[in-house]
């Protein structure tokens, strides 16, 4: 990762807890548990809010934390200019290849187009199940 991405990642990680606190207030959940059940509950109310860029950013962080509570991975910053997640937080698989595991920005686009029939929570559950099998 380049210097710009390193700095962005540090700033993101330093501010992540405050952003999640802000998100918890928006969704009216006092103590976030980062479970699939909680994600499904939050998701039911999020579609109308996804057009707000700040709320989408906070939701992205929350979804990343749900993943990290259930699989081995780490936060990083997207470094490819053609990517929807360029210079945005992403989840990388915790292995020697550091494979990008969580294209949350892509999921939002699919959700807005009506192509995720079981929503974000369904995608997250599939990723968790797949990672726990391997």
Burial call 104-125: b when 16+ CB within 10 Å, e when fewer: bbebbeebeeeebeebbbbbbb
Q: How many Å apart are CA 131 and CA 66, to the nearest integer?
A: 14
Q: Can you give the pLDDT at residue 7?
A: 94
More confident residue, 48 or 75: 75
Model confidence at 94: pLDDT above 80: no
For residue 103, pLDDT over 70 is answered with no
Cα dihedral sign for 13, 87, 61, 52? positive
Using the predicted structure, report yes or no on whether residue 1 has a pLDDT greater than 60.
Answer: no
**Predicted TM-score (pTM) of this structure:** 0.80
The domains of the chain are located at: 3-133
Helix 53-70 and helix 3-26, axial crossing angle in degrees, nearest 10 = 100
Q: Is the pLDDT of residue 73 over 90?
A: no
pLDDT confidence bin for 14, thresholds 50/70/90: very high
DSSP 88: S
Examine the pLDDT at 97 and tell me if it is beyond 80: no
Position of tokens 């959940």?
Answer: 29
Which run of H or of E encompasses 75? strand 73-77
Instruction: Give residue 2's pLDDT.
Output: 65
Strand partners, 125: none
């Amino acid at each position: 990762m380049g210097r710009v991405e390193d700095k962005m990642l540090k700033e993101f990680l330093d501010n992540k807890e405050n952003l999640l606190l802000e998100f918890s207030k928006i969704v009216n959940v006092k103590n976030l548990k980062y479970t699939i059940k909680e994600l499904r509950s939050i998701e039911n109310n999020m579609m109308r809010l996804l057009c707000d860029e700040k709320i989408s950013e906070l939701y992205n962080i929350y979804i990343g934390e749900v993943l990290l509570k259930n699989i081995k991975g780490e936060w990083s910053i997207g470094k490819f200019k053609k990517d929807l997640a360029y210079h945005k937080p992403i989840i990388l698989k915790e292995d020697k290849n550091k494979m990008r595991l969580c294209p949350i920005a892509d999921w939002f686009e699919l959700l807005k187009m009506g192509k995720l029939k079981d929503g974000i929570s369904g995608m997250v559950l599939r990723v968790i199940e797949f990672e726990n099998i391997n």
